[in-house]
Amino acid sequence: RPGQGTMQLLLGLLSLLAPGSAALEPSSLGALTAYSSYPSFYCGFVEVLPGEAERPNATALKEDLNNKLFGQHLAKDVILKAVTGFSKHGWGGTGKNFVSQIIAKNIHKAGQKSKFVHLFIATLHFPHAHQVSLYKDQLHKWIRGNVSACARSVFIFDEMDKLHPGLIDAIKPFLDYYEQIDGVSYRRAIFIFLSNAGGDLINKVTLDFWRSGKDREQIQLKDLEPVLSVAVFNNKNSGLWHSSLIDRNLIDYFVPFLPLEYKHVKMCIKAEIQSQGKEIDEAFVDKVANEMTYFPKDEKIYSDKGCKMVQDRLFFSWER
């Protein structure tokens, strides 16, 4: 349904928390819906909203993905089609949260620092199972108030695999096929769900392709998406367990993030070195990549932390 309804993105199974994100305490959600009473003043004064006719720059988004996201041909293809929600799944460090930052930046220039991009972390903002009803009410008011103020609001839900079952169903009306709800349209809002659920399944499919002598680029969305949606729906440890969002087909795409190989880790290391304004030394890159750990135990094909620890490894190596 891209272009017709709200965008829902399920972004792989890696949940990396970006520093500086505009996360808010649940207790503040209800109060902040007051923004909806004066949306034009708030949006115009604090930050310039994209015009109604403006769409994300497909060329800029493609360039960002090509230059910054490595080893994820499936994610690149699906995201370009969808943005130009969905749900992202994958192993830790494969780039799910990183991609949500890229998407946010291509919607709002300030990216995750934008007042129109909202990050919710399951264990931080919704920690207590006995308060699910309260969280539902707060979440409902928060989304309604912010979309009333800014139609192109972006909502990112991190750690979906740790979210209390049933809580996310509170946003179902906003993702459904309604033109408007009480005079407010949610069709331009973007909902991104980040989850680690299904990572083992993705790893198994990817490894099976490798063991059969096939290139990872031969893996297609149809090889993963159907089984992913079923696995997440039936996973009792997932915030999407028996969720109406899946049952009613309200998630546009399940985006699988594949485990990263040694060569992809090296690409991440080089990109980080360049971002620090330093020259690339191939021997040094190999040294850092070799210090990372890989799986399975015998073949050692995939990084078990993806590119998650690259920055720390580089800092440690430079300090030595």
Q: Are 74 and 219 in contact (CB under 8 A)?
A: yes
User: What distance in Å separates the CA atoms of residue 288 and residue 196, rounded to the nearest whole number?
Assistant: 26
Domain termination residue (choose one: 257, 273, 304): 257
In three-state form (DSSP H/G/I as H, E/B as E, the rest C), the secondary structure along 158-208 is ECHHHCCCCHHHHHHHHHCCCCCECCECCCCCEEEEEECCCHHHHHHHHHH
Q: Are residues 40 and 188 in the same domain?
A: yes
| The pair of three-digit structure tokens given for residue 50, joined into one six-digit string | 């994209």
Tens place of pLDDT for every residue, the chain, 320 residues?
333 334 444 544 332 222 233 333 333 332 222 223 333 333 444 566 665 545 566 778 888 888 888 888 888 887 877 664 446 445 555 667 778 888 888 888 888 889 999 999 999 999 999 999 999 999 989 999 999 989 889 999 988 888 888 888 888 888 887 788 888 888 888 888 888 877 888 899 999 999 999 999 999 988 887 778 777 777 776 677 667 777 777 777 778 889 999 999 999 999 999 988 999 999 999 999 999 999 998 999 999 888 888 988 888 877 65
| The pair of three-digit structure tokens given for residue 183, joined into one six-digit string | 């005079």
Report the DSSP pairing between strands 294-295 and 253-257: unpaired
Q: What are phi and psi of 109, to 5 degrees?
A: -55, -30
Q: Are residues 59 and 85 in the same domain?
A: yes
Domain termination residue (choose one: 232, 257, 282): 257
Question: Crossing angle, helix 73-83 and helix 58-68, to 10 degrees?
Answer: 160
Q: Are residues 110 and 227 in the same domain?
A: yes
Q: Are residues 277 and 210 in the same domain?
A: no
**Structural domains in the chain (count):** 2
Residues annotated within the binding site for ATP are 90-97
User: What is the CATH classification number for the domain harbouring 236?
Assistant: 3.40.50
Residues annotated within the binding site are 90-97
Q: Are residues 315 and 178 in the same domain?
A: no
Q: Are residues 40 and 78 in the same domain?
A: yes
Q: Are residues 201 and 127 in the same domain?
A: yes
| The pair of three-digit structure tokens given for residue 218, joined into one six-digit string | 């031969």
Q: Are residues 167 and 62 in the same domain?
A: yes
Interior/surface letters 107-146, b for 16+ CB within 10 angstroms, e for the rest = bbeebbebbbbbbbbbeebbeeeeebeebbebbbbbbbbb
Domain housing 158: 7-257
Residue at 299 is within a domain? yes
Q: Are residues 246 and 299 in the same domain?
A: no
